[in-house]
Amino acid sequence: MTKKDTILETDAEAIRLAKTLLRNARFGALATLDPSDGAPLSTRVAVATDLDGAPLILVSALSAHTQALQADTRCSLLTGEPGKGDPLAHPRLTLKARAMKLERGTDAHGYAERRYIERQPKAKLYAGFADFSLFRLEPENALLNGGFARAYRLTPDELLTGGPLADFRQMETAAIEHMNADHADAVENYAVHFAGSSRGKWRLIGIDPEGIDLARGEEIQRVFFKQPLNDASEVRPALVAMAKEARGV
């Protein structure tokens, strides 16, 4: 009897779900290898995402998992929050990655720190401490479990956002500040209309070629553009069109 393959063919729906689980994550379970004996070591970490969707973690040099990453960069991150009922019926994403430390004073660190604090505002209190470091988790592959009998394997190209990332890095901060200061009503409408959330003080916290990230307190919502954008000049027209649709215009 032929053994049935439990891994399904990866399709657009699976890719969208995997990206949503990453972009919506505020925390995850990080597994590293204990340098003292090589055994697995897991802990909970707060999570944000870089522009392309790669996870970012901010960790203390005193923690066991930081020391483990310094000895061996291999790690795994589990994201996806269980809801009501059976926790195994809810989707989750397991990412295999290599941890890359971002050096202070570099553009990459400054940009990642801003995105991290947008997602984790309380981190502003200690992000500048000398004994805290930002790591970017470079995906090598991922396993998506979308619920019972819905397992998929994803490559980094399927998981991460491509496109004109350099242009978006240059415009993102100013665009976010402008939208939150002058168009807070539109930001709230995005969350209500496109993400099905309730009204409240929503903030825009990220813009990339595939969509936007919104936050209200501890709630994060991902909203994808109808089509990926080809360059940063398309952001304003896309946000205006979304605002009109959300208002019913």
Domain borders along the chain are 7-159, 165-247
What percentage of residues in the chain have a pLDDT greater than 90?
A: 89
End-to-end CA distance of the chain: 59
pLDDT, position 62: 92
Contact 176, 207 (CB under 8 A): yes
- Tell which CATH classification among 3.30.420.40, 2.30.110.10, 2.40.160.10, 1.10.3720.10 matches the domain 7-159: 2.30.110.10
* Residue 159 confidence (pLDDT) above 50: yes
CATH architecture of 165-247: Alpha-Beta Barrel (3.20)
pLDDT, position 147: 77
Q: What is the mean pLDDT of residues 84-103?
A: 91
Q: Give CA–CA dist 168/125, Å, rounded.
A: 27
pLDDT (tens digit, 9 = 90+) per residue, 184-228? 999 999 999 999 999 999 999 999 999 999 999 999 999 999 999
Sign of CA dihedral 14, 15, 16, 21: positive
Confidence of residue 1 (pLDDT cuts 50, 70, 90): very low
Amino acid letter, 220: I
Residue reference for tokens 């394997």: 153
